[in-house]
Amino acid sequence: MQAIIDWINNNQDMLIEYSIKVIVAIIILFVASIATRVIASIMRKGMQKRQVDNAVISFLTAIVKSLIFIAALMVALNQVGVETTSFIAILGAAGLAIGLALQGSLSNIASGVLLIMFRPIRSGEYVEAANTAGTVEEINIFQTILKTPDNKVVYLPNSQVIGSAITNYNRESIRRIDLVIGVSYSANLQKTKAVLMDVLKNDERILQEPAPVVTVTALNSSSVDFNVRPWTKTEDVWPTRWDLLEKIKDRLDEEGIGIPFPQMDVHIQKQDKE
């Protein structure tokens, strides 16, 4: 114990100098953390004023935060006497090894960059990717976050998103509704077609250009199937679809046009006993 006290007494100047360096390094990291939040906030507000997509804002702010932290860490290490040149060389070698071990994570980062650059999906759009459908909440460095219609949050790796077929349901302003309506073989086809077309024309949400289409598509075992294909605004697709199904059923009932269902005829043969 006395030896430790003697060593401290003999090296007070060095300890004071090193303590000051450590305190300065801590201050550098503390100031960097505050600066990171301030810069990220300024960037976010600036990009929001320019109506930049939220997914792009989240991705860019995450990149800036990471770069500021790495720069502050290098300065802090240099302050306490760590040779950053050698450290960077070691870090580069370690980075190569880590990169080989974390190929999936690096792939997610590269995929995130591609998603931001080419923007096949944007924040707020309803999309289907990697066998998952939902509204895009955020695209960050590693993941794309979707919220499903039943309010589940799904985290998809960026590499899976960019590597799969992406269906974007909101990119175009209008969409087509595809319905298949089956009627009985006893129904008058021209009358049925006129009734279906009349239902479409009486709905103000149905666009006249492109014109709606009603046509016979198949002669099935128990029904004659009609394709009913109207166009509407993208935001009206589902409400219009649900309303059309209800209106078509009511009109077909009013006109005495039957909607068949699968039936099976059973024939019983009776044998006489000798």
Residue 94 — very low, low, confident or very high, per pLDDT cuts 50/70/90? Answer: low
Average pLDDT, the chain: 84
Span 13-101: which CATH code? Answer: 1.10.287.1260
Mean pLDDT over 78-101 rounds to 63
| 91 compared with 161, residue with greater pLDDT | 161
Residue 218 predicted with pLDDT over 60: yes
Domain 118-168 has CATH 3.40.190.10: no
Residue 265 predicted with pLDDT over 70: no
* Domain extent listing, the chain: 13-101, 118-168, 174-254
Fold adopted by 174-254: Alpha-Beta Plaits (3.30.70)
Q: What is the pLDDT of residues 148-184, one digit of tens each?
A: 999 999 999 999 999 999 999 999 999 999 999 999 9
Residue 138 — very low, low, confident or very high, per pLDDT cuts 50/70/90? Answer: confident
pLDDT of residue 64: 82
pLDDT of residue 189: 94
Over pLDDT 70: what percentage of the chain? 81
pLDDT of residue 13: 64
Whether the CB-CB separation of 181 and 221 falls below 8 Å is answered with no
pLDDT of residue 3: 63
